[in-house]
Chains A and B, each alone.
Chain A
């Protein structure tokens, strides 16, 4: 398989007058053509910052990519000119944002907004562009007679379909979906995920799905990366990570969600809170919340261990097939 995106040791800081917030601290992963990966983590873990870095859309100031490489189709996005990156955005990489309610311009009809995207990136006539837009709208399940409607006339699920259409109009090779279904109800979420998966197959797109929902990842992605305090603490195929969990944080996440197909008497929460990203703890970033914390965890950053593409950052090898050793 051909590699489409390679993120190498990415570090992103947000610098303010009083402090430096270290949002991303050395994230590395590779994505193949047609493959999908889920980035899972809690609020403030650095998932969205990673996505924005890939798009080269980090607000600067205060954001700075201090270290690392983002290689998309062989070229390092960080050293590209703004003009080159503008071409890649939309054509090469597209992004769907979390909130469909704010991603659309309220005073333009959705037809005009979508046609504008095509005209911006492709050389074609307006009527051709409109034809393309209507075709793709039908594919995602919006009837083309809604072409002249305004965003407020759509429900949340329908708006998210319009946003998906917008992201896919220029046939991107990579789609980044940032919590695309978090604002939607479960039955609508199922519809929208189904559409994203179908289109991904149809156009052989690669997909980065950002979410906090482990269930959504299990049903849509090939691989999964668990993000904590700006680091990937565990990465592997969905089967590897879900069935043979290795990192105590990943284990903690699984234990703290109520499961729909099992009866659990008591949930086991992860004690404490996410660290302040401006004052990261020493050693392993997870050690203040970790049940298995030892002296070494407080002093030294853990090495990356593991095999067969399933790696994790921990000093110890604690679990076997999801159970304590």
Chain B
């Protein structure tokens, strides 16, 4: 996989929303690359900007600054028509399968809509064949062709959403919390489906979730976000075995574990995520960080590669690496 080519590159991406008392820095200077066929998991708490990041990459929100380079094309420069064509290659799956399906459309109408929009098939019969093929692909029986979304439970609805996203053969899919609204037994079905589809169709995913165990299961690389910034990014084994940012360490320790044999020590962070509106200079995690020193309050740390493929934005990473800082 290492020699796979880079499919998407994001450079210094920023998205600020104007609010009455200033600017809300939802995504603030995020850069990363994704190789073809890879899954990048983006994890963080609510309000950290992970969903906004996913939407800005597809230009569903216009970026404030920065570049999005997809397949060597700078799509930030594209006009509306070019972008519409581009969306054949880039699709999104949303969190809530109850809100993202039109209740007045049948399952078939929902799945064939992108095909119609992009004028892919000339005849009705061809479209029907494709819809049936897609339903089969995501594990929906043919008899459901003319059913309506309200007849489906959450898991089946999410299958419909996935079929719709895949109908026009995209290469790249942003999955925004696709399993968060589902029960665990169904969640496993959908996760397995998404991994199978990736293998079969050679898809590239950005997988956004607040659930670290789900992210760990599906991702190749993981990016941890905090208040609009990416504070650590590494292959998944490194994130879990050797986290270098104090926030990542705390986040990992906070996940309730089902392992009753050994109880791990929990790091309970003080305080809560601070406001993303007009953030001050300095590390954004510093108010909650037990290791924050003067420089952390004054200067924003940059994301830098400290080990091969392991990026971290922390002033004291050296000490973290040498295991000198203890919670």
Contact with A along B30-62 (1 / 0, CB 8 A): 000000000000000110000000000000000
- The verdict on A252 contacting B210 (CB below 8 Å), with A218-B258, A243-B261 known, is no
| Residues of chain B in range 75-121 having any CB-CB distance to chain A below 8 Å | none
- The verdict on A273 contacting B153 (CB below 8 Å), with A42-B184, A187-B269 known, is yes
Residue of B nearest to A193 (CB): B256
- The verdict on A267 contacting B191 (CB below 8 Å), with A190-B268, A258-B216, A273-B153 known, is yes
B272 partner, pick from A157, A219, A253, A273, beta carbons under 8 A: A157
Select the stretch in B11-19, B123-131, B164-172, B247-255 that faces chain A: B247-255
Q: A268 interface residue, CB < 8 Å from B?
A: yes
Contact with B along A17-45 (1 / 0, CB 8 A): 00000000000000000000000001100
- The verdict on A190 contacting B45 (CB below 8 Å), with A218-B259, A269-B186 known, is no
Q: A296 interface residue, CB < 8 Å from B?
A: no
Chain B residues within 8 Å of A270, by CB:
185, 188
Q: Shortest beta-carbon distance, A204 to chain B, in Å?
A: 22
Contact with A along B222-258 (1 / 0, CB 8 A): 0000000000000000001000000000111111111
Q: Which 7 A-B pairs have the closest CB atoms?
A: A215-B256, A269-B188, A258-B217, A256-B188, A185-B45, A270-B185, A267-B188
Decide: B257 and A273 in contact? CB cutoff 8 A: no
Chain B residues within 8 Å of A191, by CB:
268-269
Q: B260 interface residue, CB < 8 Å from A?
A: yes
B258 partner, pick from A42, A214, A264, A266, beta carbons under 8 A: A214
Q: B324 interface residue, CB < 8 Å from A?
A: no
* C-alpha spacing A259/B46, complex, angstroms: 22
Which of A186, A214, A216 has the most CB atoms of chain B within a 10 A radius of its CB? A186
Chain B residues within 8 Å of A254, by CB:
258
Decide: B254 and A260 in contact? CB cutoff 8 A: no
Q: B192 interface residue, CB < 8 Å from A?
A: yes
Q: Shortest beta-carbon distance, B90 to chain A, in Å?
A: 26
Chain B residues within 8 Å of A257, by CB:
184, 188, 213, 258
Chain B residues within 8 Å of A213, by CB:
256
In the complex, number of A-B residue pairs with CB atoms less than 8 Å apart: 113
Chain A residues within 8 Å of B268, by CB:
187, 190-191, 194
Residue positions of B touching A, CB distance < 8 A = 45-46, 153, 155, 183-189, 191-192, 195, 210, 212-214, 216-217, 240, 250-261, 263, 266, 268-269, 272-273
Which of A185, A189, A243, A274 has the most CB atoms of chain B within a 10 A radius of its CB? A185
Residue of A nearest to B193 (CB): A269
Residue positions of A touching B, CB distance < 8 A = 42-43, 155-158, 185-191, 193-194, 212-216, 218-219, 238-239, 242-243, 252-261, 264, 266-271, 273-274
A219 partner, pick from B187, B191, B256, beta carbons under 8 A: B256
Which of B189, B256, B273 has the most CB atoms of chain A within a 10 A radius of its CB? B256
* C-alpha spacing A218/B259, complex, angstroms: 7
Chain A residues within 8 Å of B183, by CB:
42-43, 212, 274
* C-alpha spacing A269/B139, complex, angstroms: 14
Decide: A253 and B213 in contact? CB cutoff 8 A: no
A218 partner, pick from B192, B216, B257, beta carbons under 8 A: B257
Decide: A260 and B213 in contact? CB cutoff 8 A: yes
B217 partner, pick from A158, A215, A267, beta carbons under 8 A: A267
* C-alpha spacing A260/B269, complex, angstroms: 20
A-B contact pairs, 6 of them (CB 8 A): A188-B272, A254-B258, A259-B259, A260-B212, A261-B259, A271-B189
- The verdict on A259 contacting B186 (CB below 8 Å), with A187-B269, A191-B268 known, is no
Decide: A185 and B257 in contact? CB cutoff 8 A: no
* C-alpha spacing A43/B185, complex, angstroms: 11
Chain B residues within 8 Å of A185, by CB:
45-46, 210, 273
* C-alpha spacing A283/B210, complex, angstroms: 39
Which of A156, A194, A270 has the most CB atoms of chain B within a 10 A radius of its CB? A270
* C-alpha spacing A257/B259, complex, angstroms: 12
Residue of A nearest to B210 (CB): A185
* C-alpha spacing A253/B210, complex, angstroms: 20
A215 partner, pick from B45, B240, B257, B272, beta carbons under 8 A: B257
- The verdict on A218 contacting B260 (CB below 8 Å), with A187-B269, A190-B254, A258-B214 known, is yes
Decide: B185 and A269 in contact? CB cutoff 8 A: yes
Which of B45, B210, B260, B268 has the most CB atoms of chain A within a 10 A radius of its CB? B260
Decide: B188 and A216 in contact? CB cutoff 8 A: no
A253 partner, pick from B184, B189, B257, beta carbons under 8 A: B184
